[in-house]
Amino acid sequence: MAKYAVLIIDDEEHILELMEYNLSTNGFKVFTATCIKEADEILKNEKIDLMLLDIMLPDLDGMSALKKYRQDAHTKNIPIIMVTAKAEEIDKIIGLELGADDYITKPFSVREVVARINAVIRRNGRAGQSVEEVAEEYAHKGLRLDIESHSVCYQEQVIELTFKEFEILKLLMKNKGRVMTREVLLDRIWGYEYVGETRTVDVHIRYLRSKLSQYGLEECIETVRGVGYRFEKE
């Protein structure tokens, strides 16, 4: 089985050494960078499966870097786990809203990091999917979502979505007519079940609707007040 490649971006050398050793021991292929400039060079030349991104960096703060990577077609689908010494809830929420897949607060145990990496890879990867599932496509009123190419189109026009927006739309379209609660969406897409974080679902739904509204499709995603969201049936 091919090793998953993990890029660790942190300006603390002892953390890089510790994580590189332990992740390598656990079967990962590890790349390290002390700043975003170094990370960008690695991303240009290597296939990276997941990033561990520290918030406090010398050349660009982690939140700005996260936003940059989520807007770049080359990196927007790479799972990113934010690493920070800040424990405030607002930092966590902002990270999730910008597209982080998970969030780890220093100090952390190596076992916790490995467990979270494996969980994120399972959620975002295609391991165990059948060929039929990978090739699956969903369509509605000229809107087409293709899982294999990870693309969304309206007629012949490509709709640019972030990874999380794509996953939300896929889950809703796959369950047309069924109400998906905020908690279910959060758990299935972010892997979180913590109280108080469901607002990040609402934020992503708002962004998704805004993009669909350009084609008159915003009402396809219905709000079920006090419960969650539902994709309309034909």
In this prediction, residues 2-6 reach a mean pLDDT of 82
Report helix, strand or coil for 30: strand
| DSSP label of 138 | E
Round to whole Å and give the CA distance between 36 and 67. Answer: 12
**pLDDT given at position 89:** 56
Tens-place pLDDT, residues 80-106: 998 877 655 556 666 667 778 888 887
Do the bridges between strand 151-154 and strand 157-158 make them parallel or antiparallel, or are there none, so unpaired?
antiparallel
Per-residue pLDDT tens for 61-70?
A: 888 999 899 8
> Distance (Å, rounded) from C-alpha 117 to C-alpha 90?
23
Q: Of all residues in the chain, what percent carry a pLDDT higher than 90?
A: 40
Banded model confidence at residue 186, pLDDT cuts 50, 70, 90: confident
130-149 pLDDT, tens per residue? 333 444 788 999 999 988 77
CA–CA distance, 182 with 203 (Å, rounded to integer): 11
**What is residue 1's predicted lDDT score, i.e. its pLDDT?**
45
Q: Mean pLDDT score of the chain, rounded to an integer?
A: 84
How many other CB atoms are found less than 10 A from the CB of residue 165? 22
Token pair 């012949």: residue:
156
Helix residue ranges, H only, 98-145? 110-124, 131-134
